[in-house]
Amino acid sequence: MTATRSGFAGSLRAETLAARRSVVPRFTLIAVTLAGAVAGLFMFVAADPARARSLGLLNQKAQLAGMTADWPGLLAFLAQLAAVGDLLLFAFVTTWVFGREAAHGTLRYLLALPVPRTTIALAKLVVIAVWALVANLWLTVIVLGCGWLLDLPGADPAVIGRGLATAGLAAGLMWLVSTPVAFVACAARGYLAPLASALAALVLAQVATALGWAGVTPWAIPAVAAGLAPSVTLNALGLAIAALTGAAGILGTLAWWRSGLAGA
């Protein structure tokens, strides 16, 4: 019995099955739902702080600085979630998809199959991308639902469209710059190092933003796109740096799978 096809469809099915049957997608869905609900809660509090205080949602002395309870404010919050929270979400998913193969000892079964190793790695990257897309779409649905329930002012379709585009751009850039986590998960053969690398990237992004280097620091570029670094604007150099970081992450991961290091 021989198998001669490239095996991408089979690899994708296998990866999808492993992901679908795990608790991790449900966990990420809950986390994303909570994040969206927090956005709604903030809007609720910002819309009427006195009511929030009377309900015990806001401390008597607390102030919500710089937050406006309207659609632009809500969508800016969504973009911020994508620009910061997505790094943790994508890193978590990527770590699980790649790191578990070494942790469970299943990697060795993927290295001598009639399917190119790079095809299997590519299928994993596709699963992560789809997962990231679904999570962000769900987050968007939750946030939009909160805005609709709170009947926020400023529901101009153009404003909403711009806000969604900004959040989408921030999420897309974050997906790109989070791909090196896949390489770290492979090379380190486990969970801790890739998660640590994501946290380090987050800290680096904060420091770079404080120093005015956000526009050229890969993990701060999504925040620039989301408008979190007001003195810096997203330019072609920033986009190129994000694209190069994404290419390095993807190609590095594929190269690792193809190398003799994978089975070592």
Partner 1 sequence: MNAVIEVRGLSRLFGSVTAVEDVDLTVGAGQIYGFLGRNGAGKTTLIRCLLGLIPPSTGHATLFGTTVRAGRTPCRLWADVGYLVEGPGLTPWLTVTEHLETAAGYRDLPRSAVQDVIARLDLGRYRDVRAGVLSLGNRQRLGLALALIHEPELLILDEPVTSLDPAGVVEIRGLLRDLADRGVTVFMSSHNIGEVARLADRVGIIHAGRMVTELSADRLASNGERLVSTFRTAGQAEQAARALRAHGLDAVPEQVRVSTSSPEAIQRSDDVAAWLVEAGAAPMSLGLEHEDLEDLFLRLTEGMPA
The verdict on 105 binding partner 1 (CB under 8 A) reads yes
Distance of CA 105 to the CA centre of its chain: 27
- Least Cβ distance, residue 128 to partner 1 (angstroms): 17
Q: Which two tokens stand for residue 42?
A: 């903030």
Query: In this chain, which of 70, 86, 117, 195 binds partner 1, going by CB under 8 A?
Result: 117
- Quickly tell me which residue has 């709170």 as its tokens: 150
User: Helix 236-258 crosses helix 117-150 at what angle (to 10 degrees)?
Assistant: 140
CA 44 vs CA 35, 63, 69, 111, 151: distances in Å: 14, 14, 7, 52, 10
Taking CA atoms, 185 is separated from 26, 58, 148, 193, in Å, by 22, 41, 40, 7
Q: Which residue from 14, 47, 78, 150 is in contact with partner 1, where contact means CB under 8 A?
A: 14
Among 100, 125, 140, 209, binds partner 1 (CB under 8 A): 100
In whole angstroms, how close is the CB of 138 to partner 1 at the nearest point?
22
Q: Is 259 in the site for partner 1 (CB under 8 A)?
A: yes
CB 112, min distance to partner 1, A = 5
Task: Check binding of 1 to partner 1 (CB under 8 A).
Answer: yes
Interface residue with partner 1 among 57, 113, 130, 164 (CB under 8 A) is 113
Among 82, 93, 107, 144, binds partner 1 (CB under 8 A): 107
> Using the rule CB under 8 A, is 121 a contact of partner 1?
no
3 binds partner 1 (CB under 8 A): yes
Which lies closer to partner 1 via its Cβ, residue 5 or residue 61?
A: 5
Burial class (CB in 10 A: 0-12, 13-18, 19+), 38: middle
Contact between 26 and partner 1 by CB under 8 A: the answer reads no
Shortest separation between residue 110's beta carbon and partner 1, angstroms = 8
Closest separation between CB of residue 94 and partner 1, Å? 17
H/E stretch holding 87: helix 86-103
Establish if 17 lies at the interface with partner 1 (CB under 8 A). yes
CB of 246 to partner 1, least distance (A): 23
**Binding of partner 1 by 263 (CB under 8 A):** yes
Binding site for partner 1 (CB under 8 A): 1-5, 7, 10-11, 13-14, 17-18, 21-23, 100, 104-117, 120, 257-260, 262-264
